[in-house]
């Protein structure tokens, strides 16, 4: 899909040397991005699938823990109620031992219910199943794969900006042999710049979300998570899964844009 070095130089031969050099550099960056993405795309898709699978597991955990917490809270309330009933009945039954026994039973039930509530949390379950470690591993791997692609996008964006600046000067100086054609090329360059800017925002946002998820995992597993922290953890995993998918989709679109750009230059020189 990418141009050879010889052909990529031919299509810009009518431009001033500095513009021609920038065009060739943009074509090389485009080809490099396409190669990188084609190589990494299967691994990225695998990570997305694993994230989505874990996110589905977390949804199930949430339903389970919500049920257990509700049952635990009800059990605790019943236990307290048993103790109170014993105290109310004591004067009429005349049984001091009944007060002690019933009160103890109520206390035990309440403690048991509270223990159930404390013990039921997503972070604990994930840690026991190894899911937490897998999420951290997947997040780090995804960011490592994305980093070189992000850097290549930055190079494409920077080269496009330089081309726009230099082309404005060339148009002013009347140094172009085919102004109409150059305007068409410049339009494509501007489109690539805008696309690379948009995707960089999405990539940086995604990497930030994953980074925050990893930090949150490290913090929440040091203590027993609260229901609020459980919810935040669940939401962070779901958000990370969605963002990883979004990054892959946007890289796919960028690959197509770059492919169209290089192919149009190749067609011109055939």
Q: How do the pLDDT tens digits run along the chain, 270 residues long?
A: 444 444 444 445 556 777 888 989 999 999 999 999 999 999 999 999 998 898 888 878 777 655 554 555 455 555 545 444 444 454 545 554 444 444 444 444 444 443 334 345 666 777 767 778 889 999 999 999 999 999 999 999 999 999 988 877 766 666 555 567 677 778 889 999 999 999 999 999 999 999 999 988 887 776 666 778 778 888 888 899 999 999 999 999 999 999 988 876 554 444
188 is a domain residue: yes
Evaluate whether residue 226 is within a structural domain: yes
Q: Residue 131: what pLDDT?
A: 78
Query: Which residue pairs from 145-151 have beta carbons closer than 8 angstroms and sit at least 24 positions apart in sequence?
Result: 145/40, 145/43, 145/44, 145/47, 146/44, 146/203, 146/206, 146/207, 146/247, 148/36, 149/33, 149/36, 149/37, 149/40, 149/203, 149/251, 150/200, 150/203, 150/204, 150/207
**Domain assignment of residue 17, given as a range:** 5-67+122-268
pLDDT score for 57: 84
Residue 127: its pLDDT value, please?
72
Residue 113: inside a domain: no
- Asked if residue 77 belongs to a domain, the reply is no
The pLDDT assigned to 160 comes to 94
Does 49 map to a domain? yes
pLDDT for res 92: 44
Residue 155 lies in a domain: yes
| Domain count within the chain | 1
pLDDT the model gives residue 120 = 52
| Residue 246 falls inside a structural domain | yes
pLDDT of the residue at 167:
78
Report the predicted TM-score, pTM, of the whole model to 2 decimal places.
0.71
The pLDDT value given to residue 246: 95
What is the predicted pLDDT for the residue at 224?
66
Q: Is the residue at 234 inside a domain?
A: yes
Q: What is residue 245's predicted lDDT score, i.e. its pLDDT?
A: 94
């Amino acid at each position: 899909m990418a141009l050879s070095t010889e052909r990529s130089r031919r299509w810009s031969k009518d431009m001033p040397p500095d513009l021609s050099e920038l065009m060739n550099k943009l074509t090389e960056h485009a080809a490099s991005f396409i190669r990188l993405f084609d190589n990494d795309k299967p691994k990225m898709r695998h990570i997305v699938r694993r994230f989505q699978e874990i996110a589905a597991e977390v949804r199930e955990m949430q339903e389970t823990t919500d049920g257990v917490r509700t049952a635990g809270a009800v059990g605790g309330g019943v236990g307290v109620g048993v103790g109170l009933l014993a105290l109310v009945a004591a004067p009429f039954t005349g049984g001091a031992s009944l007060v002690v026994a019933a009160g103890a039973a109520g206390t035990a039930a309440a403690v048991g219910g509270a223990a159930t509530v404390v013990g039921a949390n997503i972070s604990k379950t994930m840690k026991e199943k190894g899911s937490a470690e897998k999420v951290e591993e997947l997040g780090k791997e995804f960011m490592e794969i994305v980093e070189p692609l992000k850097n290549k996008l930055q190079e494409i964006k920077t080269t496009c900006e330089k081309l726009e600046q230099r082309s404005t000067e060339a148009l002013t100086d009347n140094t172009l042999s085919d102004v109409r054609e150059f305007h068409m090329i410049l339009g494509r360059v501007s489109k690539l710049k805008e696309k690379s800017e948009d995707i960089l925002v999405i990539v940086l946002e995604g990497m930030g979300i994953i980074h925050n998820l990893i930090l949150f995992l490290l913090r929440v597993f040091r203590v027993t998570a609260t229901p609020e922290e459980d919810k935040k953890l669940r939401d962070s995993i779901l958000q990370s899964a969605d963002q990883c998918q979004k990054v892959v989709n946007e890289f796919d679109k960028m690959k197509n844009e770059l492919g169209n750009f290089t192919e149009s230059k190749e067609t011109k020189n055939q």
